[in-house]
Structure 1
């Protein structure tokens, strides 16, 4: 692991969901763990086989349980999961969520906000569905647990001299059971049109419009049969 660039402070974390899910999320005032979210998802973008593995993967440090008992956040945008979603859309893959990454909304917070609020959490050094992934609930260990330079890299695919890059690029910050929305710093979307849609969802809910940043570089944005670097 390279140590040329260390852990950023504050340490951002980001969860993404389809914009169709926002009304139910706002009504609940929180995000629920993967294992209990159920009807809150109007549009499910996750892969069923991956979710099944997360329901079985034990978390070896307190508060324990399985990965599906936690609300998942990434430490960086353009995750391998989002890449899969974008590619499934580009390739018209059958049996998968077809809409691509454009309708996905990032809910952004930070490790510090979660810790200061006293919420229980666990971090991983890579994809939580993979057996060799390690976990820690120590703030002091985050600096060395996560491959921060790789999380900043635009290209993270496995290479002959390092066939573990994709797993490490999927490092997660897992918040136990539920995540209150008052711990969010803001939201991020791909386009101005999506920003207006998010603001309208808040207006429809009778809520104050949030801070919404347009971050096209946080997305892949593939169209059908198009490949971009």
Structure 2
């Protein structure tokens, strides 16, 4: 089995459009960071976010101490956000992907862990940075890229699809390789806000 190129292994994090200007300047920051965004606009199910406080990593720190990324777009979480399941509906034009790579995080010498499924699930395993070279064999890449995850019969497929890459410190803006948006009009707004045109990509297929 060929080894994955870590500089070609993207990391996806979805956030609200209103957070992007701050992220482009300060990076993706933790709530407890000295550089935290006081005007941060959250998305997602607050009950699930609160439950993540209860799940400890082998490091002894809770999931909420880490900034989560996924390994592909169109995650079940995004579907819930766009459709309003357990949370307020958010229009896809108000959602932006921040893209990094595994290599970018490694080059920044940031602590990280990764999982082979949704990090809150007790069925998922945590791996530290020493296992990163074996990531191809540790994760189910067919599940990660499978968009047919709906239905009760696909519960474990959905868990494996939601494998996470968890960063234990603020992610500098220099680690963000590009921003992905729903439409050209959103790209124009990001460009006007000061983000380089060549760092913004329109991909409506990354949304529901």
TM-score normalised per structure 2: 0.87
The SS at the match of 1:51 is helix
Matches of 2:90 and 2:137, distance apart in 1: 36
Matches of 1:35 and 1:125, distance apart in 2: 27
* Corresponding position of 1:140: 133
Q: How has the CA–CA distance of structure 1 residues 44 and 197 changed in structure 2, closer, same or farther, with 3 Å as cutoff?
A: same
Q: For 1:53-64, list aligned pairs within 5 A.
A: 53-60=51-58, 62=59, 64=60
Deviation digits for residues 25-50 of structure 1 (CA, Å, limit 9, x no counterpart): 234x1212366556241x21121111
* Corresponding position of 2:203: 215
Matches of 1:33 and 1:54, distance apart in 2: 14
* Corresponding position of 2:150: 157
Q: For 1:1-229, list aligned pairs within 5 A.
A: 7=4, 10-27=8-25, 29-33=26-30, 39-41=38-40, 43-60=41-58, 62=59, 64-88=60-84, 96-137=87-128, 138-158=131-151, 160=153, 163-202=155-194, 208-209=196-197, 211-220=199-208
> Shift in Å at residue 55 of structure 1?
1.3
Deviation digits for residues 189-218 of structure 1 (CA, Å, limit 9, x no counterpart): 01000101111222xxxx655510001111
Matches of 2:55 and 2:135, distance apart in 1: 21
Matches of 1:38 and 1:57, distance apart in 2: 24
Structure 2: gaps spanning 5 or more residues = none
Structure 1: gaps spanning 5 or more residues = 221-229
RMSD: 2.4
Higher helix share: 2
Q: How has the CA–CA distance of structure 1 residues 35 and 73 changed in structure 2, closer, same or farther, with 3 Å as cutoff?
A: farther
CA contact (8 A) 2:112 2:168 kept: yes
Aligned length: 203
CA contact (8 A) 1:14 1:108 kept: yes
Matches of 1:85 and 1:6, distance apart in 2: 34
Deviation digits for residues 108-132 of structure 1 (CA, Å, limit 9, x no counterpart): 1100111122111000111112222
Matches of 2:39 and 2:140, distance apart in 1: 32
